[in-house]
Amino acid sequence: MTEPLRLGIAGLGTVGAGVVKIVQRQKQLLSARAGRPIEISAVSARSRDKDRGVSLDRYGWEDDPVALAKRADVDVFVELVGGDDGPAKAAVEAAIATGKHVVTANKAMLAHHGQPLAEAAENAGVSLRYEAAVAGGIPVIKALTEGLAGNGISRVMGVMNGTCNYILTRMDDAGLTYEEAFAEADGLGYLEADPELDVGGIDAAHKLSILAAIAFGTRVDFDAVALEGIGAITIEDIRRAGDMGYKIKLLGVAQMTGRGLEQRMSPCLVPDTSPLGQLVGGTNMVVLEGDAVGQVVLRGAGAGEGPTASAVLADVMDIARGVRLPTFGQPAATLAAPKPASAQSPGAYYLRLLLTDKPGALAKVATVLGEAGISIDRMRQYDHPGDLAPVLIVTHKTARPNLDRALGDLPGTGVVTEAPVALRIEEV
C-alpha cells in the first residue's frame, strides 16, 4: 500500500493545529512507519483567518464539517470539533455513511452515542478510533483493547482529569483553598468553558465509561456512573488525609462485581506511597488490572497540544497501516447490555464531621454508626477554636448502603452542624 492516506481535519483548536504540525513536521517519519504518505486534503474550522501557527494554504477548506466529512479526497475524517451532539456527531455520521474512517478525541460524544456510532462504523466497514479521547497522550485505549486482550479485566482505575488533579495538588502543596486553586487553574486556561465538566467529574466520567465498555464487553453506560465532583473537598480534608498517609484524588473506578457493573467517579483517598498517590499536577494515570497480567500502570500527559495530537496520530497511523478493529474491542452488536451494580462494593470510608462541642456528642455519632452496622477503625477529635469540634472517623470496610443510612441518620442526632464529608478509601 503506497497510496497516501488523506485526512480531513475538522476543528483547528489546540489539538487540531497540533495534528497539522505533526503531519507537516514528521512527513518522512510517518511515511516510513506507515509504509505510505500521510497527507491532509482539507480542513474545517469556525474561522478561516485565525493565526494558528501553521500554514493551511495547501489544504482545501470547508466551513461545514459535514461537507468536509463527505469530500471524495478524504479517507479519514478527524473530528476535533467537540460537543457530544451537534456538528461533531452529524459530521461523524456523515463520514461513516460515506465510507470514511473516523478518528476523534470526543469523549462526550462516545460516552453518549458510542453504541450507535460503533454499530454504524462496523456496518459500513470503517474504523472509529478515539485514543485521544481518554487520558490524552497515554496509549490506554490500545493497551486495554489490544495489549491486554488476553486478560479478563477485573478493575480499571484512573486519574483522568488533569485539571482536577492540578487543583487538588495545589491545595496540597501550596495550601490554597479550593476556590483559590480553582481560580489559579482558570487563570492558566485549564478549565473547560463549563467548569462543571472538569470539577464535577463529568469529563473524567465520560472517559471511565468508555474504558468500562472495552474492559467488560458492555455497552457504554455513562448514565450509570456514580458521579461526585471535587467541589466539597477542603484543605482540611487534604491535611487530615495526609496525616493518615493518604492523598485525595478524583478517582474513576470501574469493576465487574457480583452485584453488576460498578462505575464510580469520585474523590477518594489512596495511599500516598502508591503510584496514584504520587501523581501530582496535570498528569494522568490509568491502572489496568487483568487476571493474567496483574496490575499495569500507565502515566503521561492527559491534555495539551502535543500529547493529544500524538494520540490522534496513533489512530491515523493504525488506519494507514491497515489495522481494523471493532470500536470497543469486540463487534458492537455483541456488546452486552450493562447491568449496573445494585450497590457499590464494600469499602472503608473517611468521614469528617463538625460536631457541637458538648458531652455525649461523640457517643451519639458512634451510636448512629453502630446501628447502621459500621464499625470504626480510627476516630480522632481535633483541637479547635470556638464551640465546634471537628471529628475524623475512618471506618472499617462497610457496605455502601450502611454508610448512606448513617449519613441519613446523622442530622437527627442534633449534634452534627454541617453536612458530613464522606470519602471512600480505595485499595489500590
Cβ-contact 193, 97 below 8 angstroms? no
- Identify which of residues 176 and 313 has a Cβ nearer to its own copies in the complex: 313
Query: At residue 149, what is the residue type?
Result: A
- Identify which of residues 319 and 392 has a Cβ nearer to its own copies in the complex: 319
> SS3 for 318?
helix
Residue window 34-73: x/- pattern of binding to its own copies, with contact defined by CB under 8 A: xx--------------------------------------
Angle between helical axes of 305-320 and 14-25 (0-180°, round to 10): 60
In the complex, what is the shortest distance from the CB of residue 336 to its own copies, in angstroms, rounded to a whole number? Answer: 10
Residue 196: its H or E element: helix 196-199
Q: Which three cell numbers mark 199?
A: 470539577
Q: Which stretch binds its own copies (CB under 8 A): 191-199, 293-301, 354-362, 412-420?
A: 293-301
- Identify which of residues 54 and 316 has a Cβ nearer to its own copies in the complex: 316
Cβ-contact 271, 277 below 8 angstroms? yes
The sign of the torsion formed by the CA atoms of 266, 267, 270, 275 equals positive
Q: Does 317 bind its own copies (CB under 8 A)?
A: yes
Q: Does 210 bind its own copies (CB under 8 A)?
A: no
Q: Which stretch binds its own copies (CB under 8 A): 326-334, 370-378, 381-389, 419-427?
A: 326-334
Nearest to 156 by CA among 228, 284, 251: 251
Cβ-contact 178, 143 below 8 angstroms? no
Out of 24, 123, 295, 367, the only residue in the binding site for its own copies (CB under 8 A) is: 295
Out of 13, 260, 306, 340, the only residue in the binding site for its own copies (CB under 8 A) is: 306
Q: Which three cell numbers mark 16?
A: 487540531
Q: Does 146 bind its own copies (CB under 8 A)?
A: yes
Q: Does 217 bind its own copies (CB under 8 A)?
A: yes
Q: Determine the Cα–Cα distance for residues 15 and 75; give it in Å rounded to an integer.
A: 20
**Which residues, in sequence order, are bridge partners of residue 388?**
356
Q: Say what the alpha-carbon torsion angle 140, 145, 150, 156 is, to the nearest 10 degrees.
A: 50
Out of 99, 152, 175, 370, the only residue in the binding site for its own copies (CB under 8 A) is: 152
Out of 70, 89, 207, 247, which one is annotated catalytic?
207
Out of 14, 98, 154, 330, the only residue in the binding site for its own copies (CB under 8 A) is: 330
CA distances from 273 to 238, 288, 377, 428 (A): 15, 18, 21, 10
In the complex, what is the shortest distance from the CB of residue 8 to its own copies, in angstroms, rounded to a whole number? Answer: 17
Query: At residue 100, what is the residue type?
Result: K
Q: Is 89 a catalytic residue?
A: no
In the complex, what is the shortest distance from the CB of residue 29 to its own copies, in angstroms, rounded to a whole number? Answer: 6
Q: Does 373 bind its own copies (CB under 8 A)?
A: no
**Which residues, in sequence order, are bridge partners of residue 300?**
284
Interacting residues with its own copies (CB under 8 A):
18, 22, 26, 29-30, 32-35, 131, 137-139, 142-143, 146-152, 217, 273, 275, 278, 290-301, 304, 306-307, 309-314, 316-318, 321-326, 329-331, 334
